[in-house]
Amino acid sequence: MTKPARQRRLGALPLLIRPITRTMPWVTLISGCLAGLAFLAIMARVADSSHSPITQGTVHLAFLPCVAALAFVIRAPFRPLTQATPVPAWVTPAGHLLLAAPVLAATCWALLRIMVQTNPPHPLAGPPAAYPVIAQLAGWSAVAVAAAACVDRSRYADLGGAIAAPVAFAAIALTWYLPVTARFLVDPPATARGVTVAWYCAATAALILTGAALRDRWHRYTRRRFASGKQA
């Protein structure tokens, strides 16, 4: 890429802030986060009435609506049109991810706060470790984003999150219940440190796959097969 072309791209980035913000599916993302918080708040009220603490498994269930909402964030509207602009087409979904990250981080923090408040301090045992839960939620989010990015570069891109969310749930369920993966990704039988390292490695691999999918220039509406048939 020449220097003038690179300068044109960098100069166009500030102009994209407003359209990226306007095309961001805020309603879907915030609705998913609020649904998870409402579920955990109800479970906290039930746990307070029954004098039983909230487990990390309940926090995992509360985060599933956020994962489902995140699957709709990566969708790049009008991608065939944006491919003709000086700015790369992956800028829009990447901007959506940057906007969604603080919302997900705040939701994760709120979920952990609710869990800690329902777990009274014990003189003989400390509070449950939070860093494995954070790693697991980050890994789940990365898996959902990778699934959505791959679907967006296929012929089923119009369905987007409707396919990516079930695929992400299936991948999470397989890693959670298969004995082969549960040894490394579930605490117990794995240790808290091992779970943290394993899920961050999975998140890194998923983000690498996401980057490769976002930079894919394949035009899914090209009908080369029919064109070659007509020529024949």
Radius of gyration of the chain, Cα coordinates, nearest whole angstrom: 21
CB 203 within 8 A of CB 195: no
Angle at alpha carbon of residue 76, lines to 79 and 14, rounded to 5°? 90
> How much is the pLDDT for 72?
92
Choose between 202 and 13: higher pLDDT.
202
Cβ neighbours of residue 90 under 8 Å, at least 6 residues apart?
76, 214, 215
Which 8-state DSSP code applies to residue 15? G
Distance CA 145, CA 72 (A): 9
State how far the Cα of 76 lies from the Cα of 66, in Å rounded to an integer.
19
The whole model's pTM is what? 0.80
Q: What is the pLDDT of residue 156?
A: 80
* Contacts of residue 210, Cβ cutoff 8 Å, sequence gap at least 6: 74, 142, 145, 146, 149
Region 112-129: mean pLDDT is 69
Q: What pLDDT is attached to residue 8?
A: 56
Average pLDDT over residues 177-188: 84
Q: What's the confidence (pLDDT) of residue 180?
A: 87
Sign of CA dihedral 106, 107, 111, 112: negative
- CB neighbours of 186 closer than 8 A, spacing ≥ 6? 176, 195
Q: Specify whether the CB–CB gap between 192 and 164 falls below 8 A.
A: no
Residue 78 phi, psi (nearest 5): 55, 40
d(CA 92, CA 116): 37
End-to-end, the C-alpha distance of the chain in Å comes to 37
